[in-house]
């Protein structure tokens, strides 16, 4: 039997995705259900030689489903749009989003409601979902549709992801990007909890990054915080990462990366910055490989603030013991950081982070690498918040969180970057446990009276808490009236988001 060379090329491009090879067709197309199709992009011109040819797809749908089909094009790229007249003008591009990223929770809800309308209007209608390759973005929306519309058979998000992978691929690898899988899990738990999705806010206070001390990431590290439309809410400065922790211990107390860079004015260290974040948030981590090199993107991940605030979702994210290995939800917990107080944190392990999940040989980051989002809940008594209406972020009673002994553990060595981006060696700080000897007050100045007593901490692990430097306007007269202790419920220190 002679194989068509063009079909052979298409099979190579489609890799491990299952193809429809019947009735004279050979298409990168799979029936996930009898009336739900996942397929690759229907291309024209030269690209149609090695991808699905748009003419072949049109002929297939017409021969199998007449005009009772509806196509969802998830490609946001302008070059991936095509003439809908080839498909009876039954093509929708309203739910497109960027490749290798998840859709927003609101977009998922809108897509499922739109698809439900199509299926109810014409019960024998077939929905056709595609992106470019027809696997990642297509898989996210296909799984969410199964969870939403076919709940009697599909009510477990992880099992639904597994079902899609088996239907769409021959190697069981369907939706593999952690953030995309996380959003399918988010949506599944949202449906199972039977609660209404209402946008919630948190107050971002920094990142906590940990890894084994004998591992060195790169010369320096920085990060950005972005909203769903990729607008920057905060951009940090480069933080140096040295191999020998004694280099840090020798730094003067007032050392600042900003001082060395001469970039921005530094507000007082006790003027903590808290940045309001709402709904879908993107954290990007950048590294500089050499001291004179340019920052390169190391990894990123998405999360949604609603699931950190809603009590039922808090219970799910906090339940570490019941978390399955395939889950990419992350873990909600809390810890006590000296001089900064009690912090809530949302932790992602290396396998939960986009860009690091495939680093099996640990060339990009050690296996112990974790990133935690540090944040505060918005008090119910708040009367004013920047940029967002208070009605959309009022908290219910907070649920208990799992204690993560990041500071108290005898196996950790902890360093923080405070709100003025100053490096502080936590071995030199003291945590008050009610039993330690009193500090010698004659050797302490006024600013050190509130530091906590603490036993020395060994240095098997490193942890960096990267706190935002407040970039809002600062009045020098504030330094005369500011105190050493900051009320966590005081909204006066909330930093305005960047426009």
Distances (CA, A) of 368 to 19, 319, 328, 404, 466: 39, 21, 16, 15, 18
What pLDDT does residue 8 have?
A: 55
Distance CA 329, CA 157 (A): 11
Task: List the one residue out of 300, 336, 335, 303 whose CA is nearest residue 317.
Answer: 303
Pick the CATH number of 5-193 from 3.10.129.10, 3.90.190.10, 3.20.20.70, 3.30.750.24: 3.90.190.10
Cα Rg of the chain (Å, integer): 26
How much is the mean pLDDT over the chain?
Answer: 72
What pLDDT does residue 105 have?
A: 97
DSSP notation for 197-240: ----EEEEEEEEEEEETT----SEEEEEEEETT--EEEE---EE
Distance CA 166, CA 151 (A): 19
What pLDDT does residue 27 have?
A: 92
Pair of tokens at residue 251: 């730094």
Per-residue exposure over 169-208, b if at least 16 CB sit within 10 Å of its own CB, e if not: beeeebbebbbbbbbbbbbbbbbeeeeebebbbbbbbbbb
What pLDDT does residue 472 have?
A: 32
Other C-beta atoms closer than 10 Å to the C-beta of 100 total 13
Under a CB-based contact definition with an 8 Å cutoff, are residues 498 and 232 in contact? Answer: yes
Q: What residue spans define the domains of the chain?
A: 5-193, 201-493
Phi, psi of 206 (to 5 degrees): 150, 180
Distances (CA, A) of 235 to 197, 285, 346: 29, 10, 19
In terms of phi and psi (left: phi > 0; alpha: psi -120 to 50; beta: otherwise), the region of 13 is alpha
pLDDT in tens, the chain (499 residues): 345 655 555 555 555 678 878 888 889 999 999 999 999 999 886 665 567 999 999 999 999 999 999 999 999 998 889 989 999 999 999 999 999 999 999 999 999 999 999 999 998 999 999 999 899 999 999 999 999 999 999 999 999 999 999 999 988 889 999 999 999 999 999 999 999 999 999 998 888 888 765 555 567 778 899 999 999 988 877 777 654 432 232 333 333 332 322 222 222 233 357 889 999 999 999 988 766 778 889 999 999 999 999 999 999 998 866 677 889 999 999 877 665 677 799 999 999 999 999 998 888 888 888 999 989 998 765 433 333 322 222 222 333 333 333 333 333 333 333 333 333 334 433 443 343 444 344 444 444 443 333 333 233 455 655 656 543 332 333 333 333 333 433 433 333 333 3
Residue 337 host element (H or E): strand 331-337
Which class is domain 201-493? Answer: mainly beta
Give the catalytic positions in this structure: 131
CA 259, 263, 267, 273 torsion: positive or negative?
negative
What pLDDT does residue 18 have?
A: 80
Q: What percent of the chain has pLDDT over 70?
A: 62
What pLDDT digit, counting tens, does each position of 336-370 carry? 766 567 779 999 999 999 999 999 888 888 888 89
What pLDDT does residue 251 have?
A: 33
């Amino acid at each position: 039997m002679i194989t068509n060379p063009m079909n052979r090329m298409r099979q190579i491009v489609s890799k491990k995705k299952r193809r429809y090879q019947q009735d004279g067709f050979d298409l990168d197309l799979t029936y996930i259900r009898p009336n739900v199709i996942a397929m690759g992009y229907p291309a024209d011109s030269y690209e149609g030689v090695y991808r699905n040819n748009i003419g072949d797809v049109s002929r297939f749908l017409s021969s199998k489903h007449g005009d009772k089909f509806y196509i969802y094009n998830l490609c946001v790229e302008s070059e991936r749009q095509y003439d809908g007249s080839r498909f009876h003008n039954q093509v929708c591009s309203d739910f497109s989003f960027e490749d290798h990223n998840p859709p927003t929770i609101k977009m998922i809800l809108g897509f499922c409601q739109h698809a439900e309308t199509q299926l109810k209007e014409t019960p024998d209608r077939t929905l056709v979902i595609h992106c470019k390759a027809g696997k990642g973005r297509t898989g996210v929306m296909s799984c969410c549709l199964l969870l939403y519309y076919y709940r009697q058979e599909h009510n477990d998000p992880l099992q639904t992801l597994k079902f899609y992978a088996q239907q769409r691929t021959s190697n069981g690898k369907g939706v593999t990007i952690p953030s995309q899988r996380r959003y399918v899990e988010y949506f599944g738990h949202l449906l199972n909890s039977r609660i209404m999705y209402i946008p919630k806010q948190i107050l971002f206070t920094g990142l906590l990054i940990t890894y084994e001390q004998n591992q060195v990431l790169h010369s320096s590290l920085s990060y950005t915080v972005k909203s769903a439309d990729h607008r920057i809410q905060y951009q940090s400065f480069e933080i140096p990462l040295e191999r020998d922790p004694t280099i840090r211990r020798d730094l003067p107390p007032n050392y600042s990366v900003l001082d060395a860079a001469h970039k921005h004015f530094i507000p007082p260290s006790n003027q903590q910055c808290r940045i309001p974040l709402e709904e879908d948030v993107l954290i990007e981590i950048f590294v500089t490989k050499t001291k004179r090199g340019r920052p390169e993107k190391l990894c990123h991940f998405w999360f949604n603030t609603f699931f950190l605030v809603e009590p039922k979702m808090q219970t799910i994210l906090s339940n570490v013991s019941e978390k399955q290995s395939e889950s990419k939800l992350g873990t909600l917990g809390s810890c006590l950081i000296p001089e900064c107080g009690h912090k809530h944190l949302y932790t992602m392990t290396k396998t939960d982070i986009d860009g690091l999940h495939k680093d099996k040989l640990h060339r990009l980051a050690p296996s112990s690498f974790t990133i935690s989002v540090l944040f505060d809940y918005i008090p119910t008594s708040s009367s004013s918040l920047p940029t967002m209406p208070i009605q959309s972020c009022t908290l219910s009673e907070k649920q208990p969180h799992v204690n993560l002994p990041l500071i108290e553990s005898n196996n950790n060595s902890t360093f923080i970057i405070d709100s003025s981006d100053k490096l502080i060696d936590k071995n030199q700080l003291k945590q008050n446990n009610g039993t330690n000897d009193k500090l010698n007050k004659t050797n302490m100045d006024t600013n050190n009276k509130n530091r906590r007593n603490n036993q020395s901490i060994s240095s098997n692990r490193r942890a960096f808490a990267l706190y935002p430097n407040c970039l809002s306007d600062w009045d020098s007269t504030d330094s005369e009236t500011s105190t050493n202790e900051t009320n966590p419920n005081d909204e006066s220190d909330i930093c305005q988001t960047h426009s």
